[in-house]
Structure 1
Amino acid sequence: MKASSLFIACLCAAASLFGATANADTPGCSNAEVIGPKLFTDVCWTCIFPIRVAGINISGGGGNAPDDSVRRPVCACNDDLGVPRPGITTSMWEPARLVEFQRVAGCSSVLNGTRFPFDRLMQGNHADGEFDTTDGTFMHYHYYAFPLLVMMDLFVNKTCNSDGFYDFDLMYMSEVDPTWNNDELAFFTNPEAAAVANPIALAACPVDAISSTAGKPLNAMFWCAGSWGAIYPLSGNQNGGNGVIRESARLKSRVLAALHRRGMAHKTMGEDAMCGGYISPILPKTQYKFSLFHPVPESTSTHVMGESTFTWGLGRTIPAVGQDPIYLIWRWNDCCNTKGASL
């Protein structure tokens, strides 16, 4: 059994033992109705483009490929016996993960408003304005495997599934991560923060902000999330006052950076990823793009890491009832297709 499957099985067992509740009995924990008609209406299906086969775009317009993606037409991967098998390169954007941010500890809007048994003392909060007396913002997150194209049996051949996830799976919960609500622990578990969490390094981030808003995040500036702010420390605490969308946007860059450092998120782009994803401790920012799934979806567009929220985030929350966002994470997948694609 996959480790993440065992993890969600244990959580579900705990929920049944201690009484996980539905949103009707839990104030502040809403049902986002992820599994249902929204998979067709609220997903930007044109955002999978361009689809590239043998180095040639076979699709129409609708998006850009990362500059450091593979463009050669042919490739080879070793089979189970170590014998190289020739193939053709296939590349595309794929909706691969979901991440939700919650103030209520244990609340999963993705799982129909279910609440896992975590104490309300771990409650998060939003600080949205200058007169807010709360000390910054804090949100929990839940990270899900969501290989939508594989689940719907669309476009992706079995050999091009870079990490082996074939179904919807809960992969990580910040409530069980002591570094998420403790900046000091986050600092000591990610010591590179000492080199980049300083005024000199942060002074370079406006360059990344300009480039990201133009659609080109800078991988070399791994400590910057463009116009969203600094990625380090890799915790859920922020000063607040920038609005739910911008602050959750920065948190999703921290989530991916932390998971890449722990080997739980893989690099799926570039020559080295042609025969399967591999561990990359440094966040490859150009590999990802995002679309807001809830509460007000981006159903016709996506945004890259660090892109100004003025281009995609205005009017995306609903006061009082829709302030815990869910993002669909897209990643670029370069694959050596040795058995024929289902394109």
Structure 2
Amino acid sequence: MNCLIFPWALWLLMTLATNLHADTTTNATDPLCADAELWSGKLVTDICWSCLFPIRAAGASLGGGNVPSIATDEKFCFCTDPMGIPQLGMTVGLWNPARLIEIVRNPWCSPALGGHKISASNVRLISTTGKADFDASEMSFFNYHYFAFPLTIMLDLFWDGRCNSDGYRDFDLLYVSELDPTWNSDLLAFFTSPETALFANPVAISACVADAAAAATGNPLDALFWCAGAWGHMYPLSGISPTSYGTDPRITSLLVTRATAALHRRGLAWKTSGNDALCGGTIYPFIPKSQYRLSMFYPVAETESNHVIGETTFKWGAGRTYPGPGEDHLYLLWRWQDCCVGL
């Protein structure tokens, strides 16, 4: 009897495995929900490892690169332990790939998760790239998914308790725009950031020219927090934006910045640079632009460098997208981390 059951059980198991593989393969090649192949060799080959530098220790820099203007200027520091006893340490600062943000056309589609959908689609949340026909189609809309991505910790390259201000040690989904009603409505977004009314005028918008020029040199102006350099206006903090034809790295980069700014406003993203962040991250309601840098991971990775918020796409964005699967974009969000490492 057992001899008869075993072949049937084996056949059933192989059939289920074949169907599962076929479903996965079909979904992974779906042009509406592409697979970014994040968990593959690209995790090594498509990361800008030189972008980790410079690494600063006690004020001395190792390696070339830019240090943000708001980074700490201290060499030594004091932080209290869990018992409240001050401990002497030295300051350490470096660029960390801390977050992964995907900008997608199809709601709930996640290229970072192999091109699978997190949930069933909602027709009302389907994105549009716009057509720039000088009518209502000039506006684009995309959804985003915000992941914790502490790459240096996951690979055991660098870790210290105080240099991990938010406590994340693994890949994790933190936020999805499909559940946020302010992301697809400029009006609702206004109520979470009423200062939008202060900057909706020609004078405030013209000031963004200075921010765009500064970002082109790698030094965005934190004081002009309502500007995103050459990418456009930071407000409203929603996924709706004027567009050119098709998916443009400028638009998706702007939406990544808006998403990060919105999370800062809600206390879900922290300031991790400067003297006040040496013993842990601090809540900061406006995005400190110089604390962040971006690099595209998908569809065409930036492997040699990354770029600051607002840096013109003429310097880094050419050839970074293509029709179909290449219209969903994944970005690594690099964050400068200042911390106090005990001696």
Shift of 1:120: 3.0
In the alignment, what sits opposite 1:290?
294
In the alignment, what sits opposite 2:236?
233
In the alignment, what sits opposite 2:42?
38
SS at match of 1:110: helix
* Unmatched 5+ stretches in structure 2: 1-22
Shift of 1:71: 2.7
Which amino acid is the alignment partner of residue 90 of structure 1? V
For 1:23 and 1:111, locate their aligned partners in 2 and report how far apart those are by CA, in whole Å: 13
In the alignment, what sits opposite 2:180?
177
Alignment pair present for 1:53 and 2:53: no
In the alignment, what sits opposite 1:14?
none
Which amino acid is the alignment partner of residue 302 of structure 2? E
Residue pair 1:92, 1:332 contacting (<8 A) in 2 also:
yes
Alignment pair present for 1:327 and 2:335: no
In the alignment, what sits opposite 2:5?
none
In the alignment, what sits opposite 1:125?
128
Give the alignment of 1:150-299 within 5 angstroms: 150-241=153-244, 243-299=247-303
Q: Bigger shift: 47-56 or 194-203?
A: 194-203
In the alignment, what sits opposite 1:138?
141
Shift of 1:130: 4.4
Which amino acid is the alignment partner of residue 108 of structure 1? S
Q: Bigger shift: 156-165 or 135-144?
A: 156-165
- Give identity over the alignment, percent: 50
For 1:88 and 1:114, locate their aligned partners in 2 and report how far apart those are by CA, in whole Å: 44
In the alignment, what sits opposite 1:78?
80
Residue pair 2:273, 2:337 contacting (<8 A) in 1 also:
yes
For 1:245 and 1:207, locate their aligned partners in 2 and report how far apart those are by CA, in whole Å: 21
Shift of 1:131: 8.1
The structure with the largest alpha-carbon Rg is 2
Residue pair 1:143, 1:170 contacting (<8 A) in 2 also:
yes
In the alignment, what sits opposite 1:89?
91
Which amino acid is the alignment partner of residue 92 of structure 2? T
In the alignment, what sits opposite 2:15?
none
* Unmatched 5+ stretches in structure 1: 1-20
**1:239-277: per-residue Cα shift (whole Å, max 9, x none)?**
211652111111111011100000000000000000011
Shift of 1:320: 2.0
From the superposition, tell whether residues 209 and 114 of structure 1 become closer, same or farther in structure 2 (CA, over 3 Å): same
Q: CA RMSD in A?
A: 1.6
Residue pair 1:23, 1:29 contacting (<8 A) in 2 also:
no
Show structure 1 runs of 4+ deviating over 4 A.
Answer: 128-133
In the alignment, what sits opposite 1:65?
67
In the alignment, what sits opposite 1:308?
312
From the superposition, tell whether residues 34 and 75 of structure 1 become closer, same or farther in structure 2 (CA, over 3 Å): same
Aligned length: 317
